[in-house]
Amino acid sequence: MQKEIWRKFDYFLFGSVVILCVFGIVMIQSAVAGSIGLIDSVQRQIIFVALGLAVIIITTLIDYHYWASLSRLMYITTVIFLVIIFVYGTARYGSARWLDTGLILIQPSELGKIVVILVLADYFAETYEEKHDIRWVFRSLLITLGIVIWILLQPNLSTSIVIFVIWFSLLWICKLPLKYIGFFILGTIFIVSIAFPFFPDYQKGRVINFFIPDPNARYGDTYNVDQALITIGSGGMIGQGYGHGSQVQLRFLKVRHTDFIFSAMAEEFGFIGTAIIIGLLVFVIIRCLRAAQLAKDMYGALIAYGFATLIFFQTAVNIGVNLNIIPVTGLTLPFISYGGSSLLSLVLGIGLIESVVSRHTST
């Protein structure tokens, strides 16, 4: 059985993820150079990557159907952790998203993305033959809201949006009736319009400054994006060279090892370097979609589709923020940005994809 698993194992997907993770370590090392408070980031990321590769192997060996029986327990556990975060969480950058264990900071909302994919995949697979009416949609929405509400209370709007996008994408894959699309659009506009005044000030500031930037706010809410654009522009076609980006090394670019690592990459490796990395990320997404097509059942296919949506949306949003195409969010660049919780949740997803591929019936 194990020989069969490794015979069908997607080595192209695994290799691409390894390359992205190693490149992420390289970029983090350059981004934090000379920053005393961030000096341990590289070593931590190496540990996270090593653990992540082990997670992929272990998850591949576990039949993905086993997660269906555990998904409800994982769902309840995630909600409990999110409630604990809401009560006792460590606040950073204006919100409480981290649980301080004394050794590392854990961000349960990152695991929540994977848990939502597993729970929704199980629900839609079991109800696929049922009538796709408003009750079918509403039950799936309740499942999603059970986690999203606690993430919104942190507040963490960006992760909440990611989960809603995953929910809608799985609805679409499961042949959501077109008559509901208009209601979704109007409902989203209505809810955002009503809720916007109640957003935290820093979130409202990001949106307002995106649409109506203050030209005199040199060091205000637009500073990070302004510096990101300067950093990207200074990279040109081939970049200034590894470790030689002036914006990065002189630390004009902030949060350069997380949210704005794409800009740091563009300055040091230029358009060609960033195009190669984006190409690798697109390749990973394509391999996930391939896994969905090969899956022997609807549950496996929905896991793969959900994870492909997660990587695509998070990649697109992170790059869009760096290019000032959309308002600033807290979403990182998959596999490259620093972050243990984010990386481990992503590699868990890759392990699930490998489990689906390794058990497909076609040759």
Backbone angles phi, psi at 100, to 5 degrees: -85, 110
Tell me if 253 sits within 8 A of 223, measured CB to CB.
Answer: no
Q: Looking at the domain assignment, is residue 265 inside a domain?
A: yes
Q: Report the number of distinct structural domains present in the chain.
A: 1
Q: Looking at the domain assignment, is residue 290 inside a domain?
A: yes
Q: Looking at the domain assignment, is residue 363 inside a domain?
A: no
Q: Looking at the domain assignment, is residue 35 inside a domain?
A: yes
The amino acid at residue 37 is G
Of 259, 268, 263, give the one whose Cα is nearest residue 342: 259
Q: Looking at the domain assignment, is residue 97 inside a domain?
A: yes
> For 165-207, how does the pLDDT look when each residue is reduced to its tens digit (9 = 90+)?
999 999 999 988 887 787 778 878 888 788 777 777 777 777 7
Q: Looking at the domain assignment, is residue 318 inside a domain?
A: yes
Count CA within 13 A, CB hemisphere, residue 106.
Answer: 14
Angstrom distance (rounded) from CA 42 to CA 50: 12
> For 139-155, how does the pLDDT look when each residue is reduced to its tens digit (9 = 90+)?
999 999 999 988 888 77
Which residues span the domain enclosing 130? 2-358
The strands making up 90-92's β-sheet, listed across from edge to edge, are 90-92, 95-100, 105-106
Q: Looking at the domain assignment, is residue 297 inside a domain?
A: yes
Backbone angles phi, psi at 94, to 5 degrees: 90, 0
Angstrom distance (rounded) from CA 89 to CA 67: 28
For the record, the structure tokens of 125 come out as 């697979």
Helix axes 108-126, 66-88, angle to 10 degrees: 140
pLDDT one digit per residue (tens) for the chain, 363 residues: 677 788 889 999 999 999 999 999 999 998 888 777 777 888 889 999 999 999 999 999 999 999 988 888 989 998 988 888 777 755 554 555 656 555 556 787 888 899 999 999 999 999 988 888 888 999 999 999 999 988 888 778 888 999 999 999 999 999 888 877 877 788 788 887 887 777 777 777 777 777 777 666 555 567 788 888 889 988 889 888 888 888 888 777 888 888 899 999 999 999 999 999 999 999 999 999 999 999 989 999 999 999 999 999 999 999 999 998 888 887 899 999 998 888 999 999 999 999 999 987 654
For the record, the structure tokens of 84 come out as 């604990």
Residues 6+ apart with CB under 8 A from 123: 139, 140, 143
**Residue located via tokens 């079991």:** 126
Angstrom distance (rounded) from CA 113 to CA 235: 34
Q: Looking at the domain assignment, is residue 294 inside a domain?
A: yes
Buried b (16+ CB within 10 A) or exposed e, 310-336: bbbbbbebbbbbbebebbbbbbbbbbb
Tell me if 78 sits within 8 A of 148, measured CB to CB.
Answer: no
